[in-house]
Amino acid sequence: MTTVLQRPQIKIPATDRRVRRERRLTWIARHSIAIVLAIMFLTPVVYLVLLSVMTSQQALTSDYWPNSWHFENYVRVFQVTPLPRYLLNTVIYAVAATGFMLLSSVPAAYALAKLKFRGRNALFLTVICMMMLPPQVVTVPLYLMWAGYGLTGSLTPLIVPMLFGDAFCIFLMRQFLLTIPTDYLDAARVDGCGEWRTLIRVVLPMARPGIAAAGLFQFFYAWNDYYGPLLYTSENESSWTLSLGLASFHGVHHVDWNLVTAATVLAMIPIVVVFFFAQKAFVQGVTLTGVKG
């Protein structure tokens, strides 16, 4: 994170005392604001965690501090709700979607960034339009298509399309591949590498940060997705993902707010863990999408 976002220091000579005092005051003011904001940003998660270890009776009150700590709620939620099923479905969806997306989208992004062919601009514009298209526009025809094959009620309609490229990930990886100097590719071609070998031997190792960012985005997108599973799996509870399950818990386990919040916290944990392992690739990816505006 630090290498990407390093601040250059401005040097203004500070000799007189008044200036120095003023500066110390702004230092304190800025850091105080930052601390207050940080507390506000952390509050929702802290409150959820506190709620999740209360008894179900206390969770209904206006208390925010647990009278006694019930960490066993995190075990109970696995026993009394279909959480294991949801978790398994979510992992299947996220892993398969990410793997399939990489297989189909890395070559496409490479072609759009580094190969010259007729219709390349038109293809790129189409990818941008797909990326910007609200998913609800094509929802009904796609649903009818999958229903025609009898595949609604499963995660198949969400996973299979990833074999045919994801617009956002293609865009992101293309932007990254543009930054790789073409000289390296020419050198490989002169050495007699075909395009596929150039991609695998030369480009892939250099493009690892861009590919990692796209993979992470896709993983998080699938993990967090609510619209897709709602559309295709709501008719069949055994295919529900975590997001869909969480949104319906409230009705099924109406009074057990402590269990609902425990499940909610559990849905957030993998995201936080993955983020801390891959912070740098992630921040690079986010900046890549917007900074070149």
Partner 1 sequence: MRLRRNLTTLSFVAPLLIGIAVFFLYPLVSAVYFSFTKFDLLTVPQWVGLENYKRMADDPFLLQSVRNTLWMVAVFVPVRIISAIGLSMLLSQLKRGAGVFRTIFYLPALAPPVAATIAFVYLLKPGTGPVDTLLSHLGIDGPLWFNSPDWSKPSLVLLGLWGIGDIMIIFLAAVLGVPVSLYEAAALDGANAWHRFRYVTLPTIRPVILFATITGVIYTLQYFDQAAVAGSIASGQAVTGGGISTAFGFPEGSTFTYPLWLYTVGFRYNALGYANAMAVVLFVVALAVTVILLRRSKAFSGEEQ
Out of 87, 108, 203, 211, name the contact with partner 1 by CB under 8 A. Answer: 108
Tokens of 270: 């993998």
Residues 6+ apart with CB under 8 A from 292: 175
For position 41 contacting partner 1 by CB under 8 A, the verdict is yes
| Site track for partner 1 across 181-210, x = CB under 8 A | -------------xxx--x-----------
Using CA atoms, how far apart are residues 64 and 48, in angstroms rounded to an integer? 9
For position 137 contacting partner 1 by CB under 8 A, the verdict is yes
For position 159 contacting partner 1 by CB under 8 A, the verdict is no
Out of 81, 89, 98, 104, name the contact with partner 1 by CB under 8 A. Answer: 104
Out of 88, 128, 187, 273, name the contact with partner 1 by CB under 8 A. Answer: 128
Using CA atoms, how far apart are residues 251 and 74, in angstroms rounded to an integer? 19
Using CA atoms, how far apart are residues 152 and 146, in angstroms rounded to an integer? 6
Out of 69, 149, 184, 227, name the contact with partner 1 by CB under 8 A. Answer: 227
Residues 6+ apart with CB under 8 A from 249: 81, 259, 260, 263
Residues 6+ apart with CB under 8 A from 209: 176, 280, 281, 284
How many positions of this chain bind partner 1 (CB under 8 A)? 113
Out of 19, 24, 25, 43, name the contact with partner 1 by CB under 8 A. Answer: 43
* Spatial contact of 177 and 113, defined as CB atoms under 8 Å apart: yes
According to CB under 8 A, which residues from 231 to 260 bind partner 1? 231, 233-235, 242-244, 246-252, 254, 257, 260
Residue 10 Cβ, how far from partner 1 at the closest point, in Å? 5
